[in-house]
Structure formats: structure tokens, C-alpha cells
């Protein structure tokens, strides 16, 4: 048997992302020989046990991380710093701390004060997910063909980065190393703004007069439905993402609002050319996606 990437892997928060990592790791012990899962929530622990997500499922964070060669925090971004602060003192020298948070700058700022020189921190954001959450929502193929963005800091040892890349490759993902600020901008436009807009438009529909709302539901298939799927995602996770990527998100939201205002003005003024130009710009992005085999 070849050596696994990590003898022991500990997942903190076996929800959608964490349980998917565990499921994939269980399929093939080349990622880790031994799997540990920690959660604070008794019902999550119960499901994790019933689903046999790990060799050890515990509510004792210190015990969970003490033996691990890699500790992966899969909790909402707002909770990552406090969980890191509790986990770090119990980790063994030479181990790697990582997380899967969807925002980077604020998480990094929150975690930095608690870092130890003998534990490498390698933040990684797998660009994969669904609108569901919790341990039952995960599946082993979630990361296949998807990207995982690593945002190591200046003093992260190269071999720690290499091991985390190996872990995500073993999950079926492609990896890319990215600067923290750049990560937050790219994610603001490809993920955070679309979610914010989807939540907002569904909210707008919900505040319509009662009679209209029932018809919104009846006739949702024509465009609206796609937005509701996005908008079904977990409130805590998204509240945290919006607050923690505030700067980049508000910047792209500003741009979008200007563009929407220009479109409104064009429609109000019957300005054919501007309307068609905006539509064509939108289509161009779609065509590029199809060429990129991402559509």
C-alpha cells in the first residue's frame, strides 16, 4: 500500500463540503488512512455516525485535532477564526491547518493572530457546492472537474502547498494558486453577486401582492425558476460570505447597479442600440463559456 497524502485527516464541520471531502476520502484511503470528524451540533454528529462518514466522530475538538496531520475547517466563514483559535493550540507540530471558506481576506485576518510557526496554514476554496447543506447533502463526486483556489500566505512552506494540491487533485479537482485580494474579487463577481441578486429578486417577488405571488409561483418556469434554485442556499453561510467579502462585493454590486440603471434608461428612452448591445455582451460571455466547456 502506498503512503497516503496524510496519515490522519480531521474535518471540522461535516456539512455539505466537509461530508463530501470525507465521502471521497473514504472511497480511496490514499488521501488519508484515518478519518476524524468533529462537529458541535449533536444532530450533525448523529447523522455523521449513521452515515459512517469517518472512523471517529466526536464532539471533542481538542481530541479530534490532536492526532491529525491535516485539520480542515468546513464551517461558515464567520466561524473559521474562532474555531481555528480553539483548534490550533491542540494541533501537533508539522500538521497543516486548512479551510474551505468562500472568502479569503477577512478569514485570513481573523486566523493570523492565532497561527503557530510550526503549523502551516493553507487556505483553499473549492469552487463547488449545491443549494443544499448539512451532512446528508454531500456526495463523493462534488469536486470532480471543479476548481479549488489556494491562497497561501508569504511564509507558507511550499511542501505544505504541494500536499494540499495533492489532496484536492485526489478529490478530482483542478487547483490554482491565487492572491488573496484577487480571489475575493473574482468570487464576488462569479458567485457572491449572482447569489445576492438571486436572493433579492426572489425577495422582490415575495413582497408582491398576494394574488400576483400565487401566479409568480404558477408561472415561474420562464426564467425565474433558475434564480430560485440559487436562492435556496443556506442563510448563515451566505450572510457570512456577504459580510466577509463586503468590500469586493459592494464594488461589483455598484457596477451592476449602474449597468442596470443604464439598461432601464435605454428601455425608458426606446434606445434600441444600447439594449441590443447589452444583450449581445451577455451572450458573448455565454459563448465563451461554451467554448471553454464550462456551460
Ligand X SMILES: NC(=O)c1ccc[n+]([C@@H]2O[C@H](COP(=O)([O-])OP(=O)(O)OC[C@H]3O[C@@H](n4cnc5c(N)ncnc54)[C@H](OP(=O)(O)O)[C@@H]3O)[C@@H](O)[C@H]2O)c1
Q: State the pairing for strand pair 70-73/96-99.
A: parallel
- Least Å distance, CB 177 to its own copies, is 13
Give Cα 139 distance to the centre of its chain. Answer: 15
- Examine residue 83 and tell whether it contacts ligand X (CB under 6 A): yes
CB of 70 to its own copies, least distance (A): 24
| C-beta closer to ligand X: residue 4 or 122 | 122
The smaller minimum CB distance to its own copies, of residues 154 and 272, is found at 272
* CB-based contacts of 289, cutoff 8 Å, min separation 6: 295
**CB atoms near residue 80 (< 10 Å):** 26
Residues 6+ apart with CB under 8 A from 252: 185, 188, 189, 192, 193
C-alpha distance from residue 225 to each of 21, 107, 216, 231, 268 (Å): 29, 33, 10, 10, 26
Nearest CA among 262, 245, 106, 151 for reference residue 189: 245
Q: Which of residues 115-134 bind ligand X (CB under 6 A)?
A: 125-126, 129, 133-134
| CA 163 from centroid of its chain's CA atoms | 20
Contact partner at residue 62 from its own copies, ligand X, none, CB < 5 to 8 Å by partner kind: none
Helices 246-268 and 193-206, axial angle in degrees (round to 10): 60
What does 90 interact with, of ligand X, its own copies, none (CB < 5 to 8 A by kind)? none
| Residue placing its CB nearer to ligand X in the complex, 30 or 134 | 134
- Beta strand pairing call for 120-126 and 147-150: antiparallel
Per CB under 6 A, does 194 bind ligand X? Answer: no
Which one among 5, 11, 17, 231 touches ligand X, defined by CB under 6 A? 17
In this structure, the chain runs to a length of 295
The partner in contact with residue 139, picked from its own copies, ligand X, none with C-beta cut-offs of 5 to 8 angstroms by kind, is none
Residue 234 Cβ vs its own copies, minimum distance, rounded to whole Å: 8
| Interaction residues for ligand X, span 217-246 (CB under 6 A) | 234, 237, 241
Q: Which of 10, 16, 22, 253 binds ligand X (CB under 6 A)?
A: 16
Q: What are phi and psi of 78, to 5 degrees?
A: -65, -25
Taking the C-alpha atoms of residue 68 and residue 39, their distance in angstroms, rounded to an integer, is 15
Beta strands in 32-112 (DSSP E): 32-38, 56-58, 70-73, 96-99
Closest CA to 197 of 160, 231, 164, 171: 231
Question: Considering CB distances under 5 to 8 angstroms, the limit depending on partner class, which of ligand X, its own copies, none binds residue 276?
Answer: its own copies
Please say which residue, 30 or 238, places its beta carbon nearer to its own copies.
238
Which region, judged by CB under 6 A, interacts with ligand X, from 28-36, 94-102, 182-190, 278-286?
94-102
Among 72, 75, 96, 97, binds ligand X (CB under 6 A): 75
Interface stretch with ligand X, choices 63-71, 74-82, 165-173, 213-221 (CB under 6 A): 74-82
Does 253 interact with ligand X (rule: CB under 6 A)? no
Interface with ligand X (CB under 6 A): 13, 15-18, 39-41, 44, 74-77, 79, 83, 100-102, 125-126, 129, 133-134, 234, 237, 241
Amino acid at each position: 500500500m502506498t503512503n497516503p497524502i496524510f496519515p490522519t485527516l480531521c474535518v471540522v464541520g461535516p456539512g455539505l463540503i466537509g461530508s463530501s471531502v470525507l465521502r471521497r476520502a473514504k472511497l480511496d484511503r490514499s488521501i488519508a488512512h484515518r478519518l476524524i470528524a468533529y462537529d458541535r451540533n449533536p444532530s450533525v454528529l448523529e447523522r455523521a455516525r449513521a452515515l459512517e462518514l469517518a472512523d471517529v466522530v466526536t464532539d471533542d475538538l481538542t481530541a479530534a485535532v490532536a492526532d491529525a496531520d491535516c485539520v480542515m475547517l468546513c464551517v461558515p466563514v464567520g466561524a473559521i477564526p474562532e474555531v481555528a483559535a480553539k483548534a490550533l493550540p491542540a494541533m501537533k507540530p508539522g500538521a497543516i491547518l486548512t479551510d474551505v471558506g468562500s472568502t479569503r481576506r477577512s478569514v485570513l485576518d481573523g486566523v493570523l493572530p492565532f497561527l503557530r510557526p510550526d503549523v502551516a496554514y493553507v487556505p483553499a476554496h473549492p469552487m463547488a457546492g449545491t443549494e443544499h447543506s448539512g451532512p446528508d447533502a454531500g456526495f463523493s463526486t462534488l469536486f470532480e472537474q471543479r476548481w479549488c483556489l489556494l491562497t497561501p500566505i508569504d511564509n507558507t512552506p511550499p511542501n505544505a502547498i504541494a500536499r494540499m494540491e495533492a489532496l484536492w487533485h485526489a478529490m478530482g479537482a483542478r487547483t490554482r494558486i491565487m492572491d488573496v485580494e484577487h480571489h475575493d474579487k473574482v468570487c464576488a463577481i462569479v458567485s457572491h453577486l449572482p447569489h445576492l441578486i438571486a436572493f433579492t429578486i426572489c425577495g422582490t417577488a415575495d413582497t408582491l401582492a398576494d394574488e400576483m405571488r400565487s401566479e409568480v409561483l404558477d408561472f415561474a418556469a420562464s426564467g425565474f425558476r433558475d434564480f430560485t434554485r440559487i436562492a435556496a442556499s443556506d442563510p448563515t453561510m451566505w450572510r457570512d460570505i456577504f459580510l466577509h467579502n463586503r468590500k469586493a462585493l459592494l464594488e461589483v454590486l455598484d457596477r451592476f447597479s449602474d449597468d442596470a440603471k443604464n439598461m432601464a434608461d435605454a428601455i425608458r428612452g426606446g434606445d434600441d442600440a444600447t439594449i441590443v448591445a447589452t444583450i449581445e455582451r451577455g451572450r458573448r460571455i455565454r459563448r465563451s463559456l461554451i467554448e471553454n466547456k464550462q456551460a
